[in-house]
Protein backbone atom coordinates (compact mmCIF):
# COMPACT_ATOMS: atom_id res chain seq x y z
CA UNK A 1 0.00 0.00 0.00
CA UNK A 2 1.37 3.48 -0.81
CA UNK A 3 2.76 5.25 2.25
CA UNK A 4 3.37 8.87 3.05
CA UNK A 5 5.42 10.59 5.70
CA UNK A 6 3.73 13.79 6.83
CA UNK A 7 5.61 16.54 8.64
CA UNK A 8 3.30 19.03 10.37
CA UNK A 9 4.94 22.18 11.68
CA UNK A 10 3.29 24.19 14.42
CA UNK A 11 3.62 27.99 14.28
CA UNK A 12 7.30 28.92 14.37
CA UNK A 13 8.63 31.52 16.77
CA UNK A 14 9.99 33.50 13.78
CA UNK A 15 7.95 32.89 10.59
CA UNK A 16 10.34 34.94 8.44
CA UNK A 17 13.34 32.85 9.50
CA UNK A 18 11.30 29.68 8.95
CA UNK A 19 10.34 30.71 5.42
CA UNK A 20 13.93 31.69 4.59
CA UNK A 21 15.22 28.23 5.58
CA UNK A 22 12.28 26.19 4.28
CA UNK A 23 13.36 25.86 0.61
CA UNK A 24 16.54 24.11 1.74
CA UNK A 25 14.45 21.59 3.62
CA UNK A 26 12.34 20.86 0.56
CA UNK A 27 15.53 20.32 -1.47
CA UNK A 28 16.85 17.90 1.17
CA UNK A 29 13.54 16.01 1.17
CA UNK A 30 13.65 15.64 -2.62
CA UNK A 31 16.94 13.76 -2.24
CA UNK A 32 15.39 10.91 -0.21
CA UNK A 33 15.81 7.59 -2.01
CA UNK A 34 12.54 6.09 -3.21
CA UNK A 35 10.60 9.34 -2.95
CA UNK A 36 7.88 9.33 -5.58
CA UNK A 37 6.24 12.68 -4.91
CA UNK A 38 6.43 15.59 -2.50
CA UNK A 39 3.60 17.92 -1.60
CA UNK A 40 4.15 21.09 0.44
CA UNK A 41 1.38 23.29 1.83
CA UNK A 42 1.06 26.38 3.98
CA UNK A 43 -1.93 26.43 6.34
CA UNK A 44 -4.41 29.28 5.97
CA UNK A 45 -5.02 31.37 9.09
CA UNK A 46 -8.48 31.39 10.67
CA UNK A 47 -11.13 33.66 9.20
CA UNK A 48 -10.31 36.34 11.79
CA UNK A 49 -6.62 36.25 10.77
CA UNK A 50 -5.34 34.46 13.85
CA UNK A 51 -3.08 31.45 13.28
CA UNK A 52 -4.28 27.87 13.44
CA UNK A 53 -2.25 25.36 15.50
CA UNK A 54 -0.50 24.12 12.34
CA UNK A 55 1.66 26.34 10.12
CA UNK A 56 3.00 24.14 7.31
CA UNK A 57 2.71 20.56 6.14
CA UNK A 58 4.92 18.42 3.93
CA UNK A 59 3.85 15.03 2.54
CA UNK A 60 6.51 12.66 1.23
CA UNK A 61 5.07 9.79 -0.83
CA UNK A 62 6.63 6.35 -1.22
CA UNK A 63 5.55 3.14 -2.94
CA UNK A 64 5.03 1.33 0.37
CA UNK A 65 5.88 1.26 4.06
CA UNK A 66 9.15 -0.60 3.49
CA UNK A 67 10.36 2.05 1.04
CA UNK A 68 9.45 4.86 3.44
CA UNK A 69 11.14 3.07 6.34
CA UNK A 70 14.27 2.45 4.28
CA UNK A 71 14.39 6.11 3.20
CA UNK A 72 14.48 7.42 6.78
CA UNK A 73 17.49 5.23 7.54
CA UNK A 74 19.67 6.75 4.81
CA UNK A 75 22.43 9.34 4.75
CA UNK A 76 20.01 11.72 2.99
CA UNK A 77 17.56 11.43 5.89
CA UNK A 78 20.49 12.05 8.23
CA UNK A 79 20.77 15.47 6.59
CA UNK A 80 17.02 16.12 6.41
CA UNK A 81 15.75 15.28 9.90
CA UNK A 82 18.11 17.55 11.88
CA UNK A 83 17.01 20.35 9.53
CA UNK A 84 13.36 19.54 10.25
CA UNK A 85 13.86 19.62 14.01
CA UNK A 86 15.99 22.77 13.82
CA UNK A 87 13.31 24.55 11.81
CA UNK A 88 10.49 23.41 14.11
CA UNK A 89 10.79 26.14 16.73
CA UNK A 90 7.05 25.90 17.46
CA UNK A 91 6.88 22.11 17.47
CA UNK A 92 6.52 19.38 14.88
CA UNK A 93 4.69 16.09 14.35
CA UNK A 94 5.80 13.38 11.95
CA UNK A 95 3.37 10.70 10.80
CA UNK A 96 3.70 7.54 8.69
CA UNK A 97 0.35 6.81 7.00
CA UNK A 98 -1.12 4.35 4.51
CA UNK A 99 -2.53 6.19 1.52
CA UNK A 100 -5.96 4.62 1.16
CA UNK A 101 -7.20 6.68 -1.76
CA UNK A 102 -5.67 9.25 -4.07
Question: In this predicted structure, what is the pLDDT of residue 91?
Answer: 96
The reported pTM is 0.92
CA distance 64 to 93: 20
User: Nearest Cα to 57, choosing from 92, 31, 81?
Assistant: 92
Walk along the chain (102 residues) and give the pLDDT tens digit of each residue.
Answer: 999 999 999 999 999 999 999 999 999 999 999 999 999 999 999 999 888 989 999 999 999 999 999 999 999 999 999 999 999 999 999 999 999 976
Contact 45, 1 (CB under 8 A): no
Amino acid sequence: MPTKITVIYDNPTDPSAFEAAYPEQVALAKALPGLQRIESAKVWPKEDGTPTPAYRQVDLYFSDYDAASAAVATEEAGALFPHIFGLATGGVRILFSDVEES
